[in-house]
Amino acid sequence: MKKVLVTTGGGDCPGLNAVIRAIVKRAAQTNDWEVYGSIEAFNGALRTPKEIIRLNDQKVAGIHAKGGTILKTTNKGGPFNWPVKQEDGSWTTEDRSDEMIDYLKSEGFEVVINIGGDGSQKISHQLQEKGLNVIGVPKTIDNDLSSTDYTFGFQTAVDIATDAVDKLVTTASSHHRLMILEVMGRGAGWIALHAAIAGGAEVCLIPEIPYDVNKVLERLNKRYKDGRGFAIIVIAEGAKPREGSVVTRESDEVGYRNQRLGGVAYQLSDQLKSAGFEHDIREMVLGHLQRGGKPEAFDRILATQFGVKAMELAINGEYGKMVSFIDQEIVAVPLSEAAKGNNLVDPNSFLVQTAKGVGISFGD
C-alpha cells in the first residue's frame, strides 16, 4: 500500500471538500493507495500527538456540497515557521521542515497533496526541493494566482457578491440611497469586477485602477441627475484612491480603523461626503460571507477535476507539480512556476472595456 497525505492551508474556500472527496474516490479505484489527512495544514504532522486521520469513502460521503474543509485550515504555523514561546513570553519561529519530512517518510508517506493558495504552494515547492514528494492544488476565492485561469471558490464568491448587489438595489431604490458594497480582494479586483457587471453597479473600484473620488462623484451625480434616484458602488477591499485625489478628514481615519476587514467602504463614504455628495449613503462589508456556505456547481466541478488530476499525478509518480486549469484543460505545471506572480485585472482587458461599455465607472 502507498500512502498519500492531504493538507488544506490558508483561508478556507468553497470547494476544498470536493477536492478531498475526489482524491479519496480516485485513490480507492486503485486498491493500492491509502489516503490520510493532516489537520490544520501541516500542523497536524508537527504536533504531539500527531493529528493525522485516515480518509475513506465513508468519511468523505456528501462533503462535495459543503463549504469549509473537513481537515480544518490555518494561516499560522507550518514546517518553516513553527511558533515557539520564549522565556520572556515573546514568540519566535523555528524551521521544523527536516524533522517533519523525516517523520512523514518514516511513516511511509509517498507524497503529499497540498491544497492552498500562493503561500501554501511556496511551501509545497520548498518541501519538494528538500526531498519530500509534493503535488499542489491551487485555491483562493480571489482568483489571483497566475498559474491557473480559474481557482475554485471564485465563482461561489462572485455569486454571493452578485446576490448582495441584487438585494442592495431594492433597498437602495426604495430610499434613494447610494449603497457601497465592499467585497474581498486585497490585491486583485476580480470579485468586485465580476459582481459589478453581473449586478449592474454604477461604479466599480479595484486595486489595479486607483480611483479619483471626483470622477466617482461625477458618475454618481450624472446618475442622480438622470433621475434614477439611487446607485450602487462595488469596491474591492484593496482599492485605493489616486494620490492627492481625496480630502481626508479625521472621521475618515476613525471609520477605517473601526473595520477589521478592509473598511474601504466607510473610507469611500467619507471621501464622497467630503467631496460634496449630497445623498444618503449606506455601507456594507460583505466579508467572510463570501467564503461561507456551499460551493456553486462550477466550483464543485473544477475542484473535483483538480482532485482527480492530483491523485492521477500521484499514481503516475509525477511529483513536484501543481494541477491547473489553463485554456479549458486540466493540466500540471511545475511547482517552481506555480507560486510565481499574481493574476491581476488588466485595465485594458475586454472585461474592463465591457464594464465601461455598460456605463460602469472605475473612477479613472
Task: Point out the annotated binding site.
Answer: 11, 76-77, 117-120, 140-142, 177, 184-186, 237, 282, 288-291
- Which residue from 200, 216, 337, 198 is spatially nearest to 273, judged by alpha carbons? 216
Shortest distance, position 308 Cβ to ligand F6P, whole Å: 24
Rg (CA), the chain: 23
Regarding 11 and contact with ligand F6P (CB under 6 A), the answer is yes
Residue number with the shortest CB distance to ligand F6P?
Answer: 184
Nearer to ligand F6P, 3 or 291 (CB): 291
- Which residue from 72, 142, 45, 111 is spatially nearest to 310, judged by alpha carbons? 111
Buried-state track 45-61, b at ≥16 Cβ within 10 A, e below 16: bbeeeebbbebeeeebe
Footprint on residues 230-249 left by ligand F6P (CB under 6 A): 237
Footprint on residues 138-157 left by ligand F6P (CB under 6 A): 140-142
Shortest distance, position 273 Cβ to ligand F6P, whole Å: 26
- Helix ranges restricted to H, the chain: 16-28, 43-46, 57-60, 97-106, 118-129, 154-175, 190-199, 213-225, 250-257, 264-274, 297-315, 335-338, 350-357
Letters for 261-300 (x = contact with ligand F6P by CB under 6 A, - = none) are: x-----------------------------x---------
**Rounded CA separation 98/226 (Å):** 66
Which of these segments, 126-134, 179-187, 206-214, 272-280, binds ligand F6P (CB under 6 A)?
179-187
Regarding 207 and contact with ligand F6P (CB under 6 A), the answer is no
Which of these segments, 29-37, 161-169, 181-189, 268-276, binds ligand F6P (CB under 6 A)?
181-189
Regarding 76 and contact with ligand F6P (CB under 6 A), the answer is no
**Rounded CA separation 14/304 (Å):** 12
Contact 182, 311 (CB under 8 A): no
- Catalytic residue, chosen from 32, 102, 142, 327, is 142
Nearer to ligand F6P, 141 or 314 (CB): 141
Shortest distance, position 203 Cβ to ligand F6P, whole Å: 20
Shortest distance, position 213 Cβ to ligand F6P, whole Å: 23
Which of these segments, 46-54, 135-143, 247-255, 346-354, binds ligand F6P (CB under 6 A)?
135-143
**Grid coordinates representing 248?**
481626508
Nearer to ligand F6P, 61 or 261 (CB): 261
Question: Counting Cβ atoms within 10 Å, is residue 97 exposed (0-12), middle (13-18) or buried (19+)?
Answer: buried
Beta-bridged to residue 211, according to DSSP, are 241
Question: Counting Cβ atoms within 10 Å, is residue 250 exposed (0-12), middle (13-18) or buried (19+)?
Answer: exposed
Binding residues for ATP: 11, 76-77, 117-120
At position 158, the amino acid (one-letter code) is: V
Shortest distance, position 142 Cβ to ligand F6P, whole Å: 5
At position 169, the amino acid (one-letter code) is: V
98 is catalytic: no
Nearer to ligand F6P, 77 or 320 (CB): 77
Shortest distance, position 182 Cβ to ligand F6P, whole Å: 11
Size of the site for ligand F6P (CB under 6 A): 11
Catalytic residues: 142
